[in-house]
Structure 1
């Protein structure tokens, strides 16, 4: 049954991804898309240089955010934890905005490295405060929200102080795959190729940590080491994903919850399925963003927020007695 669910989920992702090639400011017939994919032609730019890299990037970004969220929730045993609430997305956004208002045409390697550094820096601040006060999971979520709000105010300040230079930054901050192309492909997919195997290596340790630190220590899971490595991997996955397409909110929160609902708590299945669901969310959001009212294109991050914000309120109500 689980294998059937997984196969159906992957199949749905592939159908949505391929379907995204037909949708946009210029609706295309399947025959035209197939011909262009193999032979090029007048539609080569639309298909091979615009829509094809977009759906491949959407899959990579969604997978990175989904697995990042599953790692954070697993290691902290906190169902409200996510890259957004842990300040990773806000830190990445602040660092990228700081660079873009100063150098609007910053190169991709420079933008990516600065954005990733910002995400790592924000995570270090939050984790340091958390360990200093030894908070409960609910308090940790509040610390993340507070730091994220503080960093977001810094972003707003930069946008107000630099009103002329904000165009590039605004496109990036709203979370959009607009303008992305093959040049971003190596960053996201090479990162996933390196980081996902490391995350899967921690799967059984995360299962043991769910039983409690004492039980995990007894069987040699080394909770402190596992927690540290998992947090580093989560920060890197989220930072790279946000560096590619900006701040697409709530994917890291929703994906693990939906995966847990469908496949249970076994991290060997939970981690990859969180990635698949994250990819499906981003692909769907990006497709709808450019298909709702073409040629107008909405940011994909706006659509994920419309889904994620009500779901977050539902989670707060569900865990209102949880400490």
Structure 2
């Protein structure tokens, strides 16, 4: 079957794929619908048309206050966290060429958690004032995620990055960091433990515009970098030798894209705590929806956003008690991880 002919827009060469575009449009529509549902549900319910009216500038004064000040920041923060984790997982899985590679499995999320919990427990995270009160825990999470990534990268480097080696080292580092977080919680004051536990469950409760904007800026900047690097990501999926034959500097490209992946995961974790398994599941679900040979970037981002916003709807409205969104995503992602393990084991056996 002949391949589709490319078309050019200036110096850019593109291939028109109607099925992939249709799936992305369907995911975008589903995301907007879930966003309106999530904004509308609460002690004072609003219908989808009422929410849409407020978002385009209409509605009453009370409806504007409920939507714009109370509920929209939470929903947008969840959406952006899902986009960041979806892109992070797609990048990591493409570079490692392994469906099990994700910030959760590799320990990046655990590193961010360890940094934040260490600040809460040892540094008196609740005592900061002004700007430090706003940036203290997020910056600690970012630093923890980046330090963990550097350690994993140095240990995994052996003339390049090999996927299986990267995953094994990441699993080991992840176990050590989980133990560190456990030790910090056991040795801490009960009030600090309560605050840390809320953060560790990945909660969007109390999300504000101040929490949303740093994630939005990071997603826009790094998202543009990922889109520009789409060809490089596709080449890296073919293996180091094939990528080099296509003119890709593999070491430099792997380092740059891994840094982008770590930054996206760390920013998402810093905003609301560890939202588990989204970075693992979103690229694999998107891959199956789009029927592509590797994790598609845009579809992975949209799928991640759908998972987080949809899980927030479930956590807030469909359960007997309101739960942190991270508990719901982990309940979904755990069985999916088992499915991937079984599927990979069957491939190896065959």
Length-normalised TM-score, structure 2: 0.85
- 1:54 is matched with 74
CA, structure 1 residues 293+254, in 2 after alignment: closer, same or farther (shift >3 Å)? closer
| Separation (CA, whole Å) in 2 of partners of 1:146 and 1:40 | 54
Offset, 1:193: 1.4
Partner Cα separation in structure 2 for residue 3 and residue 51 of structure 1: 30
Name the CA distance, whole Å, in 1 between partners of 2:69 and 2:105.
34
Instruction: Please give the residue correspondences for 1:92-171 in structure 2 after superposition, counting only pairs within 5 Å.
Output: 92-101=112-121, 102-106=124-128, 107-132=133-158, 137-162=163-188, 163-171=190-198
Q: Does 1:194 align with 2:212?
A: no
In structure 1, which of residues 29, 53, 76 is the aligned counterpart of residue 96 of structure 2?
76
- Aligned-partner Cα distance in 1 for 2:254–2:185: 36
Mapped to 2, the partners of 1:195 and 1:143 lie a distance apart of 26
Distance 1:10 1:209 in 2: 28
Question: Structure 1 residues 29 and 132 mapped into 2: Cα distance closer, same or farther (>3 Å)?
Answer: same
| Secondary structure class of the residue paired with 2:106 | coil
> Which deviates further from its counterpart, 99-108 or 275-284?
99-108
Distance, in Å, in 1 between the alignment partners of 2:59 and 2:289 is: 41
Q: How does 1:169-184 map to 2 (within 5 A)?
A: 169-184=196-211
C-alpha distance in 2 between matches for 1:105 and 1:83? 30
8 Å CA contact 1:138, 1:322 repeated in 2: no
Mapped pair 1:303 → 2:328: yes
**CA 1:213–1:138 in structure 2 vs 1: closer, same or farther (change >3 Å)?**
closer
8 Å Cα contact 2:108/2:266 also seen in 1: yes
Q: Of 272, 287, 290, which aligns to 1:260?
A: 287
Which of these residues, 236, 251, 264, is aligned with residue 209 of structure 1?
236
For residues 247 and 241 of structure 1, the distance between their equivalents in structure 2, rounded to whole angstroms, comes to 8
Counterpart in 1 of 2:46?
28
Partner of 1:88: 108
Higher mean alpha-carbon deviation, 18-27 vs 87-96, is at 18-27
- Tell me the CA shift for residue 145 of structure 1: 1.7
CA contact (8 A) 1:20 1:55 kept: yes
Task: Tell me the C-alpha RMSD between the 2 structures.
Answer: 2.2
Q: For residue 24 of structure 1, give the secondary structure of its aligned residue in structure 2.
A: coil
User: Where do 5+ consecutive residues of structure 2 fail to align?
Assistant: 1-18
Question: After superposition, what is the alpha-carbon deviation per residue over 1:154-191, rounded to whole angstroms, capped at 9, x for unaligned?
Answer: 11111111122122211111001001111112101111
Displacement of 1:34 after TM fit?
5.7
1:90-119 deviations in Å (ceiling 9; x for gaps): 010110111122222542222222110100
**Could you tell me whether the CA contact under 8 Å between 2:278 and 2:304 is conserved in 1?**
yes
Structure 1 position 314 matched with structure 2 position 339:
yes
Q: Is the 8 A contact 1:66 1:255 kept in 2?
A: yes
Worse overlay, 163-172 or 114-123: 163-172
Unaligned runs of 5+ in 1: none
Change (3 A) 1:281 1:217: same
Kept in 2: contact 1:207–1:266 (CA 8 A): no
Displacement of 1:133 in angstroms is: 9.6
1:25-73 CA deviation, whole Å, 9 max, x = no partner?
A: 4433456646766355345543222211111111110000000000001
Q: 1:2 Cα deviation (Å)?
A: 2.2
Q: Is the 8 A contact 2:315 2:324 kept in 1?
A: yes
Q: 1:34 to 1:222 in 2, by over 3 A?
A: closer
Deviations 1:210-235 (A, max 9, x none): 22211211121111111000100000
Matched with 1:285 is 311
